[in-house]
């Protein structure tokens, strides 16, 4: 093998090692991203469950409003519904920001 060919082999080996290092870095990054995705999906499931519970509460309060007879009861129920709607809006914006 000529000296020129030896230098070319050495350069190829160095490039191969660099590429292998890049592949390892990309594999690590992929694993990190998968982990982040799993955490985000878990958080989303929790948020969805909480939102579903809040919707049930809101429906119950709406039903209570229909049953409420005094203006004070209507006012209290209305405030509770507004608070639940605000909580739901916050959950939605949290989900949209993820």
Q: How far apart are CA 67 and CA 85, in angstroms?
A: 20
Give residue 1's pLDDT. Answer: 86
0.75 exceeded by pTM? no
For the chain, residues with pLDDT lower than 50 are: none
CA geometry: angle 13, 15, 18, nearest 5 deg: 110
Report the alpha-carbon distance of residue 3 to residue 81 in Å, rounded.
Answer: 83
Cβ atoms of 44 and 98 within 8 Å: the answer is yes
Whole-number Å distance between alpha carbons of 53 and 17: 54
pLDDT tens-digit readout, 50-68: 988 888 888 888 777 666 5
């Amino acid at each position: 093998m000529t000296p020129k060919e030896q230098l070319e082999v050495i350069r190829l080996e160095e490039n191969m090692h660099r590429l292998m290092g890049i592949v390892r870095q990309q594999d690590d990054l992929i694993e990190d991203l998968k982990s982040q995705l799993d955490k985000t999906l878990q958080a989303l499931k929790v948020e969805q469950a909480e939102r579903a519970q809040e919707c049930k509460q809101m429906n119950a309060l709406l039903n209570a409003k229909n049953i409420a007879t005094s203006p004070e009861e209507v006012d209290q129920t209305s405030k509770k519904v507004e608070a639940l709607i605000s909580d739901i809006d916050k959950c939605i914006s949290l989900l949209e920001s993820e």
